[in-house]
Copies of this chain bind each other. A is one copy, B any other.
Amino acid sequence: MPNPTAAMIVIGDEILSGRTRDSNMHHLAGQLTEAGINLCEARMIGDESKTIIDAVRTMSVAYDHVFTSGGIGPTHDDITADCIAAAFGASIDVREDARAILAAHYAKSGTELNDARLRMARIPEGATLIDNPVSAAPGFKLKNVYVLAGVPSVFTAMVASVLPTLTGGRPLISRTLRIDRGEGDIAGPLRVLADAFPALSIGSYPFQKDGKYGAHIVIRGTEETEIETAMAQLGEVFP
């Protein structure tokens, strides 16, 4: 059976303007690969309702799992929850279970649960809450879409709560060989290898260090013995 597929939607004007460098996609990518789930696509889009709704609809049909990050805070530009509801035609309002979590959290610090903070308890009907051990305000899952926070520490914590609930495929194994030759010398033999092992993904990632060219050849697959065989053949060509 092929591995499950996933996609990510990174939401936020600050990413597209270059103000903030996203780190959540890279984190999720590594976690999914370890879990045997193939991240097939990531889209970075702005805080704009129609764009968010269209991306959610398209990707939730195309992939087994969709993860979003960003736009679930208390301010006016946090519109992700409303967009997810709209994408699936679900109603959305302050939900009692989410309000209770926030009320308990803010009571501890004597902070008022005002209208703005209550926005973080707006959860689409039918969604399941996702635990936020860092700052309480929950994420949620609706259909196959996991709606997570944009702040990296919270995003990471939410991914950790969600991943064990997903059924992965066979974890992708990868082996890397560093070859201190230009990619132009490596390319020919590499194509022969790729043709001989169609089930493996064989990538070449060039680098330049101290004026010398080289490449990391990465062989990925799910069958360890097949990968080792290919690595051995590569090692014979480039000792």
Binding site for B on A (CB under 8 A): 12-23, 25-33, 38-47, 51, 73-77, 111-112, 114-117, 119, 135, 151, 153, 172, 174, 182-188, 190-191, 194, 201-208, 218, 220
Q: A42 near B39 (CB under 8 angstroms)?
A: no
Given contacts A44-B44, A47-B203, A73-B183, 11 further A-B contacts (CB under 8 A): A14-B218, A18-B27, A18-B28, A18-B33, A18-B39, A19-B174, A19-B218, A40-B51, A41-B46, A43-B44, A117-B184
With A74-B187, A76-B187, A187-B76 as given contacts, are A30 and B18 in contact (CB-CB < 8 Å)?
Answer: yes
Q: B16 near A29 (CB under 8 angstroms)?
A: yes
Give the shortest distance, in Å, between A135 (CB) and chain B (any CB): 7
A218, B14: Cα distance in complex, Å: 9
A44, B29: Cα distance in complex, Å: 11
**Number of identical protomers:** 2
A12, B206: Cα distance in complex, Å: 13
Which residues of chain B are near A46, meaning CB under 8 Å?
40-41
Which residues of chain B are near A20, meaning CB under 8 Å?
205
Q: A206 near B114 (CB under 8 angstroms)?
A: no
Q: A206 near B151 (CB under 8 angstroms)?
A: yes
Q: A183 near B75 (CB under 8 angstroms)?
A: yes
Give the shortest distance, in Å, between A47 (CB) and chain B (any CB): 8
The chain B residue sitting closest to A19, CB to CB, is B218
A27, B111: Cα distance in complex, Å: 39
Q: B183 near A116 (CB under 8 angstroms)?
A: yes
Q: A26 near B33 (CB under 8 angstroms)?
A: no
Give the shortest distance, in Å, between A227 (CB) and chain B (any CB): 14
A30, B172: Cα distance in complex, Å: 34
The chain B residue sitting closest to A6, CB to CB, is B16
The chain B residue sitting closest to A27, CB to CB, is B18
Q: A76 near B41 (CB under 8 angstroms)?
A: no
Q: B14 near A116 (CB under 8 angstroms)?
A: no
A111, B117: Cα distance in complex, Å: 64
